[in-house]
Amino acid sequence: MDRRIGRLLQVAGVNRGFAAYNVVHMKSRVAELDFLKCVFILLMIAFHLVYIGDKYPYAKTLVYTFHMPAFLIISGYLMNVEKKARSFLRMIFWIFVPYAVMESGYVVMSSVLPVRGGVDVLGWDVWLEKLFLHPVGPYWYLHTLMVCGLTYYAVYRMFAGRKAPLSFLIVLSLLYGVEASEWVGVVSLSNALYFLAGVTLRHASIGFCSFFRPSWWAVLPFVWLASDMSNLDRSLLSGVALTYLSVSLSLALYRLLPEKAVRSACFIGSNTFILLVFSPIFTMLVKPLVPVFAFDPSGMLFLFVSLCVTVAGCFVIAWGMDRLHLSPFFWGKESMVQSFG
């Protein structure tokens, strides 16, 4: 169906790459993408638990190789730059508000608590530098999303209506290179390129699940690559391959799970913004549970309980904000929690 619509648009003289947005945005949410977001957000939370990260350092390095790159690819693929400037900037603003609140809190807390990679001396200059240029802690993803998104939108509008998707992608990649350079350094080059990969996939008019083929055979090259520590770097080709293979395996799992499990996962996946914003609160709060579950040397019981507490806690905060009518001031929406089902 998508291909037929794309051909009709092309016959009508509309560039297919740029017109792909109109096709995709006719659809409702894509369940596979929500499922992937659930898988990768849970992996993010799991290895933000210091106890688990320290207990399984190899697994942490492996997961860090692919989980956020996959998130960035999905973000680039889904970002809607068809919006008018006012609407798009409003979307970015309501990413910035929760980001600014939580990043500011993290900067302050890291200046008084023993946080890894925290702030030694707090001042207005340090706060502004962390907020706008080099965020500290787990909120770097939102910063990268805003920087890459704004650049993407500006370049897209520059080329809107022109049959030049290749030129558009070249200019966008060059700007990301500048933003990642040592003179600017507001984003990581590898992170920007993963976002660009999602953008490229969208403008190539290739369905996400057509490019990332679900396959259990992917486990063989995944294990082979993961067995060598030198491959565990998102900026290497092996990291790109591991990212592709992790998505392929996750989509294969999607096909295997029962409907209720998929629905629950998609509910979590459709609310990942809530988890991205609030999960650091709970990954710190669950630390006292480590001695409680000391009888389990594997740490799996601690991991399971901590994941449940973190996910539930994030939803309770968001639900409470909805009920208290605070969401319009924090998220820019009357209700933030997406419906289940």
229 is a domain residue: yes
Which percentage of the chain shows pLDDT scores above 90?
74
Reduced DSSP (H G I as helix, E B as strand, rest coil) percent helix, strand, coil of the chain, to 5: 70, 0, 30
Q: How many domains does the chain have?
A: 1
Helix (H, G, I), strand (E, B) or coil at 306: helix
Mean pLDDT of 120-133: 85
Give pTM, 2 decimals: 0.88
Q: Residue 49: pLDDT band by 50, 70, 90 thresholds?
A: very high
Cβ-contact 289, 302 below 8 angstroms: yes
50 is a domain residue: yes
337 is a domain residue: no
Alpha-carbon Rg for the chain in angstroms: 20
CA distance 216 to 248: 8
Q: Pick from 265, 306, 237, 244: which is nearest to 47 by CA?
A: 306
Over 90: is that where the pLDDT of 119 sits?
A: no
341 is a domain residue: no
Average pLDDT, the chain: 88
201 is a domain residue: yes
336 is a domain residue: no
311 is a domain residue: yes
| Domain extent at residue 10 | 2-330
339 is a domain residue: no
Locus of tokens 């499922």: 35
The confidence score (pLDDT) of residue 289 equals 96
The confidence score (pLDDT) of residue 11 equals 36
Vertex 251: Cα angle to 145 and 222 (nearest 5):
90
Residue 255 CB coordination number (10 Å): 11
CA distance 325 to 114: 35
Mean pLDDT of 82-108: 94
Locus of tokens 């029962």: 258
The confidence score (pLDDT) of residue 23 equals 36
